[in-house]
A and B are shown apart, each in its own frame.
Chain A
Amino acid sequence: MPLTSAFSIPFSRFDIHKMWSLTDITTNIHDWLNETFSPTWVLIIEMVIAGIAVIGLFAVLGLVLVIMERKVSAWMQIRLGPNRVGPKGLLQSLADTLKLLVKEGLTPGGADKFLFNLAPIIALVVAMLLMAPIAFAKDFQLWNLNIGVLYVSAVSSLMVISILMAGWSSNNKYSLMGAMRSGAQIVSYELSAGLSILTIVVLAGSLNIPDIIYSQADGWWIFKGHIPALIAFVIFIIAVTAETNRAPFDLAEAESELTAGFHTEYSGMKFALFFLAEYVNVFIVCAIGATLFLGGWMPFHIGNWEAFNHVMDYIPSSIWFFGKTFFLIFVIMWFRWTFPRLRIDQLLNLEWKYLLPISMFNLILVTAIAILKWHF
Chain B
Amino acid sequence: MFIVKYIKDVFSGIKSLLVGMRRTGYYFTHHKEIITEQYPDNRDTLKLPERFKGEVVMPHDANNEHRCTGCTACELACPNGTIKVVTKFDITPDGKKKKAIDKLVYHLELCTMCNLCIVACPSDAIVMAQTFEHSVFDRAELTKILNNPGSRIMDGVE
Contact = CB atoms under 8 A, between A and B. Distances in A.
A146 B39 CA distance: 57
Contacts of B28: 72, 75-76, 334
A80 interface: yes
Contacts of B17: 338-339
Contacts of B20: 338-339
A78 B20 CA distance: 15
Interface string B77-120: 00000000000000000000000000000000000000000000
A13 interface: no
Q: What size tier do the contact residues of chain A reach?
A: 10 to 19
A75 B9 CA distance: 31
A358 interface: yes
Interface stretch (B29-37, B54-62, B139-147): B29-37
Contacts of B31: 75
B10 A78 contact: no
Contacts of B27: 75-78
A74 B21 CA distance: 15
A72 B21 CA distance: 13
Interface string A64-99: 000000001011111110000000000000000000
Contacts of A358: 10
A334 B20 CA distance: 10
Contacts of A72: 28
A79 B24 CA distance: 12
A78 B21 contact: no
Contacts of B24: 76, 334, 337-338
Contacts of A334: 21, 24-25, 28
Contact of B34 (A78, A335, A338, A339): A78
B23 interface: yes
A78 B35 contact: yes
B38 interface: yes
B34 A354 contact: no
Most buried by B among A72, A75, A79, A338: A338
B33 to A, nearest CB: 6
B93 to A, nearest CB: 62
A79 B34 CA distance: 5
B45 to A, nearest CB: 16
A338 B27 CA distance: 11
A346 B9 CA distance: 14
Contacts of A80: 34, 36, 38
Contacts of A339: 17, 20
Nearest to A79: B36
B13 to A, nearest CB: 8
Nearest to B25: A334
A338 B35 contact: no
A170 B91 CA distance: 75
A313 B10 CA distance: 39
Nearest to B20: A338
A338 B26 CA distance: 12
B35 A79 contact: yes
B10 A338 contact: no
Contacts of A74: 36
A339 B19 CA distance: 11
A75 B29 CA distance: 8
A89 to B, nearest CB: 12
A354 B9 CA distance: 10
Contacts of B25: 76, 334
Most buried by A among B21, B24, B25, B36: B24
B23 A78 contact: no
A354 B31 CA distance: 36
A79 B27 CA distance: 10
Nearest to A330: B28
Contacts of A75: 27-28, 31
B33 A338 contact: no
B23 A338 contact: yes
Given A75-B27, A78-B33, A334-B25, 5 more contacts: A76-B25, A79-B36, A80-B34, A334-B28, A339-B17
Interface of B: 9-10, 17, 20-21, 23-25, 27-28, 31, 33-36, 38
28 contacts: A72-B28, A74-B36, A75-B27, A75-B28, A75-B31, A76-B24, A76-B25, A76-B28, A77-B27, A78-B27, A78-B33, A78-B34, A78-B35, A78-B36, A79-B35, A80-B34, A80-B38, A334-B21, A334-B24, A334-B25, A334-B28, A335-B21, A337-B24, A338-B21, A338-B24, A354-B9, A354-B10, A358-B10
Which 8 residue pairs spanning A and B have beta carbons closest together?
A: A80-B36, A76-B24, A338-B24, A79-B36, A338-B20, A75-B28, A76-B28, A78-B35
